[in-house]
Structures are given as C-alpha cells and as structure tokens.
C-alpha cells in the first residue's frame, strides 16, 4: 500500500505508523473521555485516519481512506485540521 | 566493489536539526542564515552551510567546516526564529557516487530515484534495509549523500557491501 | 530420441548434459528440463500426490500439475519444481518425487486399490475416531503416504536480492498482445516495464506456426524484443513472474537471476524480488489450455494440445510416435496439423463437436481418421498405448496411440487480476471466466482478456496501449496492430466424458477426480468455496491452474446450475510459488534486522562483554573476567564493586528528546503527571507519563537547560513511541503551542558513573567542574566542554549510589570511556552491564519495564502523590475511574524468601499461605527478581492486592510452571538505603 505524504510524496505504508480514526477530539472538560478513549465507529467506507510518517518527515497526517477498498483519496497535515 | 561506484564516509561535519518556531517563517530562517530554507524536500547551499529539507518547517543544517561552537552559534543566529539541536555526533554520512550509485540506492529505497522524480537538489527521508536514511543528491555524476543514525552504521555498511556485489548481476 | 532433425528455438551446437534420477541425458541450449526429458523418451516423471499414479509431462508452461521434480542436491535441493519451466543447463541434476523405492516401482501405488478410502474429504471421515490416534498414527501415516517433494531441511545457501521500480506502464506477459503494447508505449516514450516468466519474449508466438507482418511469428517476436531492449525508457524483465497485485498499484515480481546457470558466480543472487509501482498495467498473461476430463486422462503420454505443439515447434521434440487428438476447439486441429507437418503419424482426430472443421479434409489426406460428435473415454496402458473412442453412433473403437493431445478450450490467466477482490465473470463467448473489473489501473488484453485469436490479441494490445499513451498525453504512431495469419478459436466445451471405466482426473496435482466432485455435491458441499476445501480441488502448488474451471463446471452440472451461477473463486498472491528467501532478501540470520551499536560497543567487546538485545540495540549485559565461573558471579562482582567503589555503565540507549520553544514547559506539564513549568534551570526532575486511559506509559528524567530548552529522557524500549506521542501532542492535540521536539538519542553517548568513589573519579577527569555536594547537589545538571566539544553532566542515580551521568557527542563516546578507564585504574573502576544495572534498580525498588507493563497506575507503583491537582495532563481524567483507584488494586511491594536460600522467580503468582492454588485466590504476581549480593539472598518486586498496607505479612509464591511454591515475606520495595542517604551524599 502507498500513502501520500503532503511533504514527502507517495511512500510505502511501512514508513508509517497507524493510529486510527481521526475524528475523536480530546475533550476540554471532565466529560467525554470515555467516548474519546474507547468508542470508535468502525466505519465501512471513507474514513479519516491519523497516520504518523515515522520513517519520513515525522508528521502526523490525516489520510482519507476507503476501508472497503483501501483506496486512498488524499492526505493533509493533521495540524492543519486541528488548527 | 562494482564498476562506477565510489563509497566513502564523510569524516568531519557539523549537523543540526533546525525546527521553525511557531510564528516564524522560512524567509526569517533564510535571512538569519543567509541561505534559503527550502519549503519542500530539496537542499540549498550557500556560505558553507547546506539546508536540507526533512519536513515542513524542519531542516538539517550541514557544514563541512564546523567550529567547536558551531551549533551554539547557529542557535544564536536563529534565536526567536528556529530551535536548534546539535546532531553532529548522532549521524554518519556516506557519500555514494558513480554511474551505478542510483541503481544501488534504488535497490534499497522504495522511492523513485529516477529523474525527473529525483535529481540533483532533491532530498528524501526514507528507509533502506529497515534503516531510516536521509538521501540527498549532490550532482548528476550522480553523487548522493546518505545520512543515518550513527548506531546503524555497521548494519548499513553490511547492506552496502552485499548490495554493491549484487549490482554486477 | 524423439528429437526432430531440424526446427525449434534450440541451439543444436550447444549440447548440455544433465541427470534425472541419476541417469545421464543430453539436451540442448534453449531446452527446458521437460523438453529435454521428452527428447530422451522419458515419459514417467513423477508419482501423483494421493494415489501414486505414474505421471508425465502434461503442459509446456508454469501451469504444469504433474511433472514436478526436485531440482539440485543437498541444501540447494528445490522440491516441487515444474520441469516445464526449468531452463536446461550443463550438469543440471533432477530427481523424481513421492515414490519409494523408485519411480518405476512405487509400493504406495497400492493406494489406488484403496481408493474408496481416499475419496473427497477422506481425512474428515476415515480418520475421525478415536481422536487420540490422529496425532500419533493417522496424520504421520497420511503425510508419508501422500505428498509432493520434501524440503532439504538445510539452511538455504543462496542469497536473494531486491529491487524497486516505478513506471507509467507495467506489461505483465510478453506474448503477442504484451509485445505490441510495449512497442507502442515504448515508442511513444512512456516509462515501460515488460515482464515475462519465460527466458524469451514472445509467448505463444514461439510455439505456434503463424505469420506477422509477413514474417514467421517467432522472428517477429525476436525483432520486437530487440527493439524493446534498445529503448532506454523500457525495462525488459525476462525470467520474471509478476506474482501479485497490491493496494496502491503496487506489484510484486520475482526475477530468477541465476536459476538457469550451472553455478552462480560468487556473490550472485539466485533470485531478486521486485516491488513495482505502476500507474497503469496491462495484464497480458495469456490463457491456459483446459485439459479434458476422461478416463485415464492422467496417463503419461496425455498432454494438452498446445503443449504438444509447443514441444514440436519450439523445441523440435515430439512426445510420441502415433498421436490421437481429442478436441472441443479449433485449436486442437492446429495441433493435428502441426504433428502432420512435422511428419508425426496422427491416428485420429476426435472432435466432440459435430460440425466438420476446415482442416478435417487435410488431416484425412494425411491418413488420420476423423471422428465427429465423438469422445475419447479411456486411455489404456501404464503410459498411453491406446485410446477408446466412443463414436457418435455409441459404438466404441480402440485405436493405438502413445500420444494423446487434448484441447478443451482456453482459460484466460486472470489469476492476479482478482487479487484485490474483483470477481471474474462468465463469458458465453469463450466459455470461461474473464475479468469484468480489475484492480485500479489494470486492464486485461489479449488472451487474458478472452481475445483468443492472434489477430484479436494483437489488436486488443494495440488499442489498450494507444489508450494508455493518450491518457499520459502522448501520441502513439502507428496505433494499428500488424497483419497476421488467421487463427480461429471457437470452442464448444465438453466438461467431462461420463462413459468411462477408469478414473478421470480434474485436479491432477491433488488427485481429485470427477467422482470426488459429484460426491462432494451429493454430501452438500455445493458452494465453490466449500467444494474447494472439501475436495482440495485447486489447493495444490499449482493452485488449480488447469483444474479449477473443470471442477466448477462439474459442480454446476451436479447441482443443476449454470457455471455462471456457480461462480468461481478469487485468487490470492502469489500466482506461482515463491521461495521465502526471496521475501527475506538480505534480511536473514545475522542480518535479520539492523543492529544498533552504542559508541562504547567496540570497547566493550575488548572488555569481554556479553551482549543482550534491547530492541535493536546491543547492550553489554555483563563483563566476565577470567576465572569467573558463572554470569551470576560476574554480576555480583559488578554490583558489589559499584556499591563499594565505582562502576560505569553505558546508558546511551535511553531515549533522548530535545523539547524547545516558548511553550515547551506548557507541553511538558500536559504530558507528565507532575509539574515541569516549576523546574529550575539547571535541574533535572523525575517524571511519570500516563496514557490517556490513565495507565502508566513511561518514565524518565527531564532537564531544563534554559527557560525554553528542555531535555527529556525515556526508557530504551519506549524511545520511538514517546517521540511519536510528543509529536502527536504538539501537532494534533495542541498545534497552537510554540514547541519544537526532535530526537537526540543518537547525538549523546551517556555513561552512568556510580558508587561512592564516582565523584572522586570524575573530579579527577573533569577538574574544571565543581562536583561537590554543595556545588553540584542531587538532581543538578551542568553543560561543559569535553575535548572542546559540548558535553553534559547530570547528578542522577538509578543505582541508589552517589552517581552521575555524563553525556558527550556520540562520536566521542569511545574516547570518553577509554579516558574514564585511564583515570579509573587508580580507583578499581569496573564496567557494569544491564544485568548489574537491573539488580541495583531492584535493590532500590525502582519500577522498570516489568512494572511499567501497561496495566499499572501511578498509585499501583506508589507514585499517586505525583499526580498534580493544579493542571490538566494526559490521562488525568481516566486515571480517576473507580477501577483504577480501587483500594484492593495490586500495588508495588518488595518480597524476600522466608528461607533465604530459596530462589525467587518472576511470573509466579501470590497467594495466601493456606489458600488453595486456584485463580479465585490469586492476589498478584512477581514482576522482577534478582539475587542481591548486597543482602546475600534473592529479592523481588511484585504487585500485590493492597500491597502497600501488607508489609511484614507472610504469603506464598505459587509457580505451577517451574515447580515448588515458596513462602515469602512482604516488605518495602526499597531494599537498600531506604532513606536515600547515599544518593545525596
């Protein structure tokens, strides 16, 4: 599998570390941590995922991937999304 | 060693990770160092300093004429603009040159090293033989520099030895 | 000899000697092992998997199910090698398989008589009872009786290379469609790779008598190959099998670099793995001829018609004296004419169709009988001697023939096309499955796309290439396919011949007959996937290349469905068997994974160090001295000398991270449970990190060198993980912070200098520093210069002794440790390894990896007080969950055996002395143990329910794996200097 890194270009999946669903947002207060830590949708279809380009530019990226076909629709730096 | 291949190890250099501060920009780094800090995986050299792009807002600064206070001086020049971490002792740099150099590296790296995808001025941070490497192409001989963590030097040399013998076939 | 006097693409000027089962034979350069064996009239080549039936060569390609041999001897012996794909070389040694005592006389052929036992699913039924017999009796028996070749069981002496390639167009197969596509795309300037498993490009053009552009087809193929080789933008990979398609338009291929050479030159890889990323791919892998299912169709002498033609036209060999052709397609007639043209007697052409083929007259003129609407229902003889023809009128005729060519129609080789889940669909035109959809970027062309005639193959290749060229914004000229001779390819399939007296095989390699299929259907295995597993159809090393469709057709017939309804299976990579060594490449044995060596490694070797793997690192475990009887004696000495004098240990492998920027302290406060914003400049502080779920992630010390310049250390094991965690925190969780972080693990060689004499030693080495307790107290840090270069000293202690850590740039690490020992001679300085380090940390009750095991909270480890209440940090909220703060959680304790001579072992479980040894009574477990030379007995750390409140209690360690239970005393985890006087001394 090849993953496009916004900085390095398309790279072999082995350069990356997978984290998972990019949609959970760390709660600001006391509530919502159980959901944040444990609950995931396990979507069939296009999903936003966090990958770390550990063997490249060391950036966390957000990849859009179809979990049914493994088709990758694009990626952006995760920090761009977070800001 | 295969024909058209020269491998040597750079003996003396100063190397530092330069990371852009939050509200600074590439131009400020360039102004502070008098060498452009590339925004993409390429390298630019000027005034005995090479800025090698390794990530967004992240470079390896390289000099082949380091003073003992080189990294501290670099940090002072970049104060308020970028953070500096000395890496002069942490890496080894191999120089791999000759008509077979690209073929050799292509056997190790799963990135397209063929022009125009990769040429003089290009940089890639990737993996060879499960070892993290930073490859930058110096000229069209072609000459490549490959930097890797010092602790891996022995294993990388073993891969180089095996792969350069295989080049003949 | 069955070699024709002329013809073929072999070099008769280059004879080659080879052996088969010890007999010496001669072939020519250009032969395959199969063609050379046929030329030498060797018909019997192997014994079948289950029934040990005699088998010969059936095909001329990689789909061969029967002619499997073990190639080479000793460690180089390669079992299950298809003789049809082995290029002949001087001195080749091959032996037959699955026979005892010899190929001609095989005792286990008696299995045939027991064949009612060996029907489909026999191992699910026959050997069910009693269960205990399975492991000891049935399985070994079956394994001996049924099987293919055997592995040498020796290490592979060859080595394997790897390459990576990127192209705009990958063409898989170098037959007519692939060649014309490569020519057009190459001429248009695309970056093209064309791969073919054969040693020559051309595919069927090398095996059949055609003309292209007015030239013999083989000549046209040779010229096309030469033109491709001359193009710098085209890479031609012969002897290369593309074995799989992967996500992201990635293809795996294996190039057989030296398999065709008598002996690899020193350093020459045997095979090379290619990983190819191709924007577009054309699957031009051709088609495989179907065998026909009739009685005795596995007898040596029965071959596919295309194989008969290939051996004739390409290799100049004929596999018999008198041939019978059994066909359901036009291509069978071409083989009959090939035989006649080569001067071979054709006794009969049996066509199951009733219409008279155009060649029938010509064949009859040459003396062959023609039977229409007829079938061969049995082949007689150990190797074929005669065939029984059931004629249209129902009567039977016996005809002498020692070569039977069967032409059952063609199956496109779409194997890798379904690797990513595209399900093939039935074509009523060619009566086989074709690709309806394909992996992204891939298109099938030529026979692989069901374009079976030569002209269709060429035009489909040309059209597809022109489309690809246009997609890349280039232009191809000319775009038309060349003119070629006519080549009708009609077929009316005949899935099996029901009237027969002997076994009719569907899967030759796994000995699956038509009866097995109908039996499976009767027993309810009516889905293709169940059929496959119950009968093992298509599960042999050939993966059913010749058998799959015939089997599915028979199942469809048995269940009253159409083949389209019954469907077919998907295939997984690899398309052909690939040696494991190819995937391993350079990375085996000592090179299995890269090794990281610290700066003092070479020095440690000279000191007699034994090394232990810590992840990829090699760490010195202990430094044995001459005369020491055991590692324990060595470690005890290292501990005692360090506690009473001074020792030095390389701790460079700890993770080191520079954290800089205006918000560095803010980030560290959020990462650690305790405060770092209050850390004074020039001081270090111990920190504990939680995961977001509230459990402990890692620990280490963090130093503040300047207001905005921190230096974090991690455990060796978690160095990479914590770097990733910090990057996640600063890039994703809090990208608004001004923080930069980078790993400097490799920059610094760090040495722990520990023991009461450590200050004296270092003061002598570093006279410019004030290392007095007043000038440099516990947890103080300083930057200085060593040999002119930046260096650091930390007053930290893991051993519990007065201790320092000194860091110098890693390229000076070797010089530093040698300098330390130059000075250290006066102090009896000893190097100590990770084992002594571990003993001392257990004596001090410091948690390490065994305690930071992903299941413990800060409270479990006695560090609940560290959890700051003044700030948020990762894991804070979840750490407050009831289950994580429950009073009866296991917490860290020390343990001592009541019998001081007893030896504790890690992993044992803790029980009350009088409690039964059952899980319900489990109160915790032992995490770390060591022999403490300081106390003179075994000690340990453990996690015990309410442990902190139970010091002094007597309990038991239960160790059902390694034996006797031991009574122990619960105590404080700090065994040595609990007041911490020494570290502050």
Of residues C541 and C221, more confidence is placed in: C221
Q: Which domain holds residue B62?
A: 14-86
- The alpha-carbon gap from C571 to the nearest alpha carbon of chain A, in Å, equals 16
Widest CA span of chain A, in angstroms?
A: 40
Residue C142: band (very low, low, confident or very high) from pLDDT cuts 50, 70, 90: low
Whether residue B76 lies inside any domain: the answer is: yes
CA dist C642 to C244, C777, C782, C834, C940, Å? 58, 20, 24, 13, 20
- The alpha-carbon gap from C876 to the nearest alpha carbon of chain A, in Å, equals 9
Best residue in C189, C278, C594 for a mutation probing chain B (most B CBs within 10 Å): C594
Whether residue B137 lies inside any domain: the answer is: yes
Residues B116 and B148 in one domain: yes
Contact assessment for residue C493 and residue C331, using Cβ atoms and an 8 Å cutoff: no
C413-441 burial, b for 16+ CB within 10 Å, e for fewer?
bbbbbbbbebebebeeebbbbbbeebbbb
Q: Which two tokens stand for residue B123?
A: 């940089």
Q: Return the number of other C-beta atoms located less than 10 Å from residue C152's C-beta.
A: 17
Taking CB atoms and an 8 Å cutoff, what residues of chain A touch C693? 37-38
Contact assessment for residue A76 and residue A62, using Cβ atoms and an 8 Å cutoff: yes
Average pLDDT over residues C710-724: 97
The answer to whether the Cβ–Cβ distance between C742 and B17 falls below 8 Å is yes
- The alpha-carbon gap from A52 to the nearest alpha carbon of chain B, in Å, equals 13
Residue C344 has pLDDT above 80, yes or no: yes
The answer to whether the Cβ–Cβ distance between B56 and A8 falls below 8 Å is no
The answer to whether the Cβ–Cβ distance between A58 and B124 falls below 8 Å is no
Closest residue to B132, CB basis, from A7, A55, A59: A55
Taking CB atoms and an 8 Å cutoff, what residues of chain C touch B149? 596, 745-746
Any C CB within 8 A of B7 CB? no
pLDDT at res. C653: 98
Q: How far is the C-alpha of C870 from the C-alpha of C695, rounded, in Å?
A: 19
Any A CB within 8 A of C882 CB? no
Average pLDDT over residues C763-778: 97
Best residue in C732, C739, C871 for a mutation probing chain A (most A CBs within 10 Å): C732
Taking CB atoms and an 8 Å cutoff, what residues of chain A touch C437? none
Residue B1 has pLDDT above 60, yes or no: no
The answer to whether the Cβ–Cβ distance between A8 and B40 falls below 8 Å is no
Q: How far is the C-alpha of C522 from the C-alpha of C178, rounded, in Å?
A: 44
Average pLDDT over residues C357-384: 96
pLDDT at res. C123: 58
ipTM, two decimals:
0.98
Report pLDDT digits (tens) over B91-140: 999 999 999 999 999 999 999 999 999 999 999 999 999 999 999 999 99
Closest residue to A7, CB basis, from B55, B127, B132: B55
Q: How far is the C-alpha of C972 from the C-alpha of C391, rounded, in Å?
A: 96
Residue A35 has pLDDT above 60, yes or no: yes
Interhelix angle C719-728/C664-671, nearest 10 degrees? 120
The answer to whether the Cβ–Cβ distance between B111 and A58 falls below 8 Å is no
Report pLDDT digits (tens) over A55-66: 999 999 999 999
Structural domain count of chain B: 2
Whether residue B65 lies inside any domain: the answer is: yes
Residues B109 and B80 in one domain: no
The single-letter DSSP state of residue C101 is: B
Residue C728: band (very low, low, confident or very high) from pLDDT cuts 50, 70, 90: very high
CB neighbour list of residue C918: distance below 8 Å, 6 or more residues apart: none
B38-71 burial, b for 16+ CB within 10 Å, e for fewer?
beebbbbeeeebbbbbbbbbbbbbbbeebeeebb
Residue C1: band (very low, low, confident or very high) from pLDDT cuts 50, 70, 90: low
Residues B27 and B56 in one domain: yes
Q: Which two tokens stand for residue C63?
A: 């789909």
Report pLDDT digits (tens) over C882-908: 999 999 999 999 999 999 999 999 999
Any B CB within 8 A of C731 CB? no
Residue C133 has pLDDT above 70, yes or no: no
pLDDT at res. C557: 93
- The alpha-carbon gap from B8 to the nearest alpha carbon of chain A, in Å, equals 24
Whether residue A7 lies inside any domain: the answer is: yes
Closest residue to B126, CB basis, from A6, A11, A59: A11
Residue C50: band (very low, low, confident or very high) from pLDDT cuts 50, 70, 90: confident
Report pLDDT digits (tens) over C404-460: 999 999 999 998 999 998 899 999 999 999 999 999 999 999 999 999 999 999 999
The answer to whether the Cβ–Cβ distance between C662 and B22 falls below 8 Å is yes
Contact assessment for residue B137 and residue B120, using Cβ atoms and an 8 Å cutoff: yes
Q: Which residues pair with A74 in a beta bridge?
A: A64
Taking CB atoms and an 8 Å cutoff, what residues of chain A touch B42? none
**Which residue, B86, B113, B128, sits at the end of a domain?**
B86
Domains and CATH numbers, chain C: 11-112 (3.10.20.440), 160-287+412-471 (3.50.50.60), 291-408 (3.50.50.60), 494-561 (1.10.10.1100), 596-653+747-840 (3.30.1360.120), 655-743 (3.30.70.1400), 887-985 (2.40.30.110)
- The alpha-carbon gap from A47 to the nearest alpha carbon of chain C, in Å, equals 17
Any C CB within 8 A of B73 CB? no
CA dihedral angle for residue A42, residue A45, residue A50, residue A51, rounded to 10 degrees: 110
Residue C104: band (very low, low, confident or very high) from pLDDT cuts 50, 70, 90: confident
Which residues numbered 94-153 in B keep a CB inside 8 Å of some CB on C?
106-112, 114, 117, 129-131, 149-153
Average pLDDT over residues C766-791: 97
- The alpha-carbon gap from A55 to the nearest alpha carbon of chain B, in Å, equals 6
Report pLDDT digits (tens) over B63-103: 999 998 999 999 999 999 999 999 999 999 999 999 999 99
CA dist C437 to A83, C232, C253, C723, Å? 41, 32, 22, 43
The answer to whether the Cβ–Cβ distance between A9 and B111 falls below 8 Å is yes
The answer to whether the Cβ–Cβ distance between C877 and A33 falls below 8 Å is yes
Q: How far is the C-alpha of C789 from the C-alpha of B90, rounded, in Å?
A: 14
Residues B116 and B130 in one domain: yes
Residue C558 has pLDDT above 80, yes or no: yes
Closest residue to B125, CB basis, from A8, A14, A77: A8
Residues B108 and B72 in one domain: no
The answer to whether the Cβ–Cβ distance between C591 and B155 falls below 8 Å is yes
Residues B66 and B98 in one domain: no
CB neighbour list of residue C122: distance below 8 Å, 6 or more residues apart: none
Residue C826 has pLDDT above 80, yes or no: yes
pLDDT at res. C898: 97
pLDDT at res. C266: 75
Average pLDDT over residues C266-274: 90
Q: How far is the C-alpha of C969 from the C-alpha of C894, rounded, in Å?
A: 8
Whether residue B2 lies inside any domain: the answer is: no
Among candidate residues A37, A25, A77, B22, the one with its CA nearest the CA of residue C667: B22
Contact assessment for residue C81 and residue C68, using Cβ atoms and an 8 Å cutoff: yes
Q: Which domain holds residue A10?
A: 2-23+34-82
Q: Which chains sit next to B, with 3 or more Cβ pairs under 8 A?
A: A, C
Q: How far is the C-alpha of A32 from the C-alpha of C624, rounded, in Å?
A: 55
Structural domain count of chain A: 1
Checking C560-569 for CB contacts under 8 A at 24+ apart, the result is C562/C426, C563/C426, C564/C425, C564/C426, C566/C528, C567/C423, C567/C528, C568/C423, C568/C424, C568/C433, C568/C528, C569/C528, C569/C529, C569/C532, C569/C538
Average pLDDT over residues B47-68: 95
Whether residue A29 lies inside any domain: the answer is: no
pLDDT at res. C127: 53
Name the closest residue on chain A to residue B41, using Cα atoms. Answer: A8
Closest residue to A7, CB basis, from B41, B111, B132: B41
The answer to whether the Cβ–Cβ distance between C732 and A50 falls below 8 Å is yes
Residues B109 and B144 in one domain: yes
pLDDT at res. C118: 66
Residue C128 has pLDDT above 60, yes or no: no
Taking CB atoms and an 8 Å cutoff, what residues of chain A touch B125? 8, 55-57
Q: How far is the C-alpha of C980 from the C-alpha of C801, rounded, in Å?
A: 9
Report pLDDT digits (tens) over C926-965: 999 999 999 999 999 999 999 999 999 999 999 988 888 9
Among candidate residues C900, C912, C965, C907, the one with its CA nearest the CA of residue C939: C900
Taking CB atoms and an 8 Å cutoff, what residues of chain A touch C744? none
Name the closest residue on chain B to residue C814, using Cα atoms. Answer: B89
If you average pLDDT over every residue of chain C, what do you get? 94
Residue C587 has pLDDT above 90, yes or no: yes
pLDDT at res. C147: 63
Closest residue to A79, CB basis, from C249, C440, C732: C732
Residues B98 and B159 in one domain: yes
Any A CB within 8 A of C737 CB? no
**Pairs of CB atoms within 8 A across A/B:** 37
Residues B101 and B162 in one domain: yes
- The alpha-carbon gap from B55 to the nearest alpha carbon of chain C, in Å, equals 12
CB neighbour list of residue C75: distance below 8 Å, 6 or more residues apart: C152, C154, C155, C156, C157
Best residue in C158, C159, C164, C592 for a mutation probing chain B (most B CBs within 10 Å): C164
**Given CA atoms C52, C57, C59, C63 in this order, what sign does their dihedral have?**
positive
Radius of gyration of chain B (CA): 16
Residues B96 and B155 in one domain: yes
Residue C124 has pLDDT above 70, yes or no: no
Residues B65 and B117 in one domain: no
**Pairs of CB atoms within 8 A across A/C:** 61
**Given CA atoms C868, C873, C875, C881 in this order, what sign does their dihedral have?**
positive
Q: Provide the CATH number for the domain around residue A18.
A: 3.30.2270.10
Taking CB atoms and an 8 Å cutoff, what residues of chain C touch B17? 658, 742, 744
Percent of chain C with pLDDT over 70: 96
Whether residue A28 lies inside any domain: the answer is: no
Residue C765 has pLDDT above 90, yes or no: yes
Percent of chain C with pLDDT over 90: 85
**Which residue, B86, B108, B130, sits at the end of a domain?**
B86
- The alpha-carbon gap from A46 to the nearest alpha carbon of chain C, in Å, equals 16
Report pLDDT digits (tens) over C572-584: 999 999 999 999 9
pTM of structure: 0.94
Residues B98 and B63 in one domain: no
The answer to whether the Cβ–Cβ distance between A78 and C720 falls below 8 Å is no
């Amino acid at each position: 599998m090849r993953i496009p890194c916004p900085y390095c270009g398309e790279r072999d999946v082995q350069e990356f570390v997978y984290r998972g669903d990019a949609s959970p947002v760390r709660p600001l207060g006391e509530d919502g941590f159980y959901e944040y830590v444990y609950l995931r949708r396990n979507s069939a279809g296009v999903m936003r995922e966090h990958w770390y380009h550990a063997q490249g530019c060391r950036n966390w990226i957000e990849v859009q991937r179809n979990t049914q076909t493994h088709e990758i629709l694009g990626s952006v730096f995760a920090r761009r999304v977070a800001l | 060693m295969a024909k058209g291949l020269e491998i040597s190890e750079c003996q003396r250099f100063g190397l530092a990770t330069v990371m852009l501060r939050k509200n600074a920009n590439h131009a400020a780094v360039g102004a502070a160092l008098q060498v452009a800090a590339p925004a993409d995986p390429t390298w630019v050299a000027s005034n005995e300093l090479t800025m090698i792009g390794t990530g967004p807002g992240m470079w390896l600064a390289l000099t082949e004429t380091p003073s003992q206070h080189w990294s501290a001086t670099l940090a002072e020049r970049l104060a308020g603009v970028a953070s500096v971490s000395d890496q002069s002792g942490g890496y080894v740099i191999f120089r791999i040159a000759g008509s077979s150099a690209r073929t050799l590296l292509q056997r190790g790296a799963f990135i397209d090293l063929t022009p125009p995808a990769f040429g003089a001025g290009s940089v890639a941070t990737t993996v060879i033989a499960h070892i993290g490497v930073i490859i930058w192409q110096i000229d069209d001989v072609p000459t490549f520099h490959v930097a890797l963590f010092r602790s891996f030097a022995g294993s990388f040399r073993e891969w180089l030895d095996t792969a350069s013998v295989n080049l003949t076939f | 000899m069955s070699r024709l006097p002329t013809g073929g693409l072999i070099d008769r000027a280059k004879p080659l000697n080879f052996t088969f089962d010890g007999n010496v034979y001669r072939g020519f350069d250009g032969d395959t092992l199969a063609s050379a064996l046929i030329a030498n009239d060797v018909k019997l080549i192997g014994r079948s998997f289950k029934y040990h039936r005699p088998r010969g060569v059936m095909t001329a390609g990689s789909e061969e199910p029967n002619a499997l041999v073990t190639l080479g001897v000793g460690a180089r012996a390669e079992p299950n090698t298809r003789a049809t794909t082995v290029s002949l070389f001087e001195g080749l040694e091959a032996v037959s398989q699955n026979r005892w005592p010899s190929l001609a006389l095989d005792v286990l052929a008696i299995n045939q008589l027991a064949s009612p036992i060996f029907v489909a699913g026999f191992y699910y039924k026959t050997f069910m009872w009693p269960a205990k017999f399975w492991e000891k009796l049935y399985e070994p028996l079956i394994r001996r009786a049924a099987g293919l070749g055997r592995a040498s069981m020796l290490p592979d002496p060859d080595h394997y290379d790897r390459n990576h390639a990127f192209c705009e167009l990958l063409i898989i197969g170098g037959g007519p469609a692939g060649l014309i596509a490569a020519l057009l795309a190459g001429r248009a300037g695309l970056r093209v790779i064309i791969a073919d498993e054969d040693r020559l490009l051309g595919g069927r053009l090398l095996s059949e008598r055609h003309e292209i552009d007015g030239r013999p087809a083989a000549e046209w193929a040779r010229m096309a190959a030469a033109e491709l080789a001359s193009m710098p933008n085209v890479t031609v990979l012969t002897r290369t099998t593309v074995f799989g398609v992967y996500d992201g338009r990635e293809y795996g291929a294996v190039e057989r670099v030296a398999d065709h050479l008598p002996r690899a030159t020193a350093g020459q890889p045997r095979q090379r793995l290619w990983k190819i990323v191709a924007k577009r791919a054309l699957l031009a892998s051709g088609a495989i001829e179907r065998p026909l299912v009739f009685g005795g169709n596995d007898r040596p002498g029965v071959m596919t018609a295309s194989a008969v033609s290939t051996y004739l036209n390409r290799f100049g060999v004929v596999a018999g004296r008198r041939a019978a052709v059994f066909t359901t397609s036009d291509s069978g007639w071409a083989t009959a004419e090939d035989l006649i043209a080569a001067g071979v007697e054709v006794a009969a052409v049996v066509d199951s169709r009733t219409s008279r083929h155009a060649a029938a007259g010509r064949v009859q003129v040459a003396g062959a009988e023609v039977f229409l609407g007829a079938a061969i229902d049995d082949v007689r003889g150990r190797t074929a001697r005669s065939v029984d023809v059931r004629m249209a009128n129902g009567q039977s005729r016996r005809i002498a023939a020692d070569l039977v060519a069967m032409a059952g129609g063609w199956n496109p080789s779409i194997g890798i096309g379904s690797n990513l889940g595209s399900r093939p669909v039935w074509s009523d035109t060619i009566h086989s499955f074709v690709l309806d959809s394909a992996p992204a970027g891939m298109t099938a062309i030529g026979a692989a796309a069901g374009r079976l005639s030569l002209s269709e193959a060429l035009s489909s290749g040309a059209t597809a290439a022109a489309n690809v060229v246009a997609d890349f914004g280039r232009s191809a000229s000319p775009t038309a396919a060349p003119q070629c001779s006519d080549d009708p390819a009609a077929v009316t399939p005949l899935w099996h011949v029901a009237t027969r007296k002997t076994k009719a095989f569907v899967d030759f390699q796994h000995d699956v007959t038509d009866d097995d299929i109908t039996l499976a259907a009767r027993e309810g295995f009516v889905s293709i996937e169940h059929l496959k597993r119950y009968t093992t159809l298509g599960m042999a090393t050939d993966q059913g290349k010749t058998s799959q469709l015939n089997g599915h057709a028979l199942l469809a017939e048995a269940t009253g469905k159409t083949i389209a309804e019954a469907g077919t299976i998907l295939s997984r990579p690899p398309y052909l068997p690939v040696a494991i060594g190819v995937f391993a490449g350079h990375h085996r044995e000592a090179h299995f994974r890269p090794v990281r060596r610290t700066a003092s490694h070479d020095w440690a070797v000279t000191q007699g160090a034994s090394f232990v793997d810590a992840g990829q690192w090699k760490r010195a475990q202990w430094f044995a001295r001459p005369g020491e009887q055991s590692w324990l004696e060595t470690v005890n000495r290292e501990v005692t000398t360090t506690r009473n004098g001074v020792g030095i240990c390389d701790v460079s492998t700890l993770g080191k991270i520079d954290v800089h920027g205006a918000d560095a302290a803010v980030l560290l406060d959020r990462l650690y449970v305790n405060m770092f914003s209050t850390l004074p400049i020039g001081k270090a502080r111990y920190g504990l990190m939680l995961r977001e779920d509230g459990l402990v992630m890692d620990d280490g010390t963090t130093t503040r060198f300047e207001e905005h310049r921190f230096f974090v250390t991690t455990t060796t094991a978690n160095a990479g993980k914590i770097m990733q965690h910090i990057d996640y925190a600063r890039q994703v969780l809090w990208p608004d912070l001004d923080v930069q972080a980078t790993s400097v693990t490799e920059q610094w060689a760090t040495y722990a200098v520990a023991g009461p004499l450590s200050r004296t030693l270092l003061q002598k080495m570093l006279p410019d520093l004030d290392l007095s307790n007043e000038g440099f107290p516990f947890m103080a840090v300083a930057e200085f210069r060593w040999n002119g270069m930046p260096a650091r000293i930390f007053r930290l202690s893991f051993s519990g002794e007065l201790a320092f850590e000194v860091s110098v740039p890693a390229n000076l690490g070797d010089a530093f440790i040698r300098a330390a020992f130059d000075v250290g001679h006066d102090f009896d300085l000893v190097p100590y390894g990770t084992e002594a380090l571990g003993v001392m940390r257990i004596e001090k009750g410091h948690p390490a990896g065994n305690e930071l095991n992903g299941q413990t909270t800060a409270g479990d480890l006695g560090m609940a007080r560290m959890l700051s209440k003044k700030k948020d940090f990762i894991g804070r909220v979840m750490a407050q969950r009831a289950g994580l703060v429950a009073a009866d959680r296991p917490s860290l304790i020390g343990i001592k055996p009541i019998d001081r001579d007893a030896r504790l072992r890690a992993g044992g479980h803790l029980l009350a002395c009088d409690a039964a040894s059952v899980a319900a009574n489990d109160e915790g477990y032992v995490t770390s143990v060591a022999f403490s030379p300081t106390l003179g007995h075994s000690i340990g750390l453990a996690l015990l329910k309410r442990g902190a409140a139970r010091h002094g209690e007597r309990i038991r360690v239960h160790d059902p794996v390694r034996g006797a239970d031991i009574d122990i005393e619960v105590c404080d985890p700090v065994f040595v200097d609990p007041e911490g006087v020494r570290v502050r001394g």
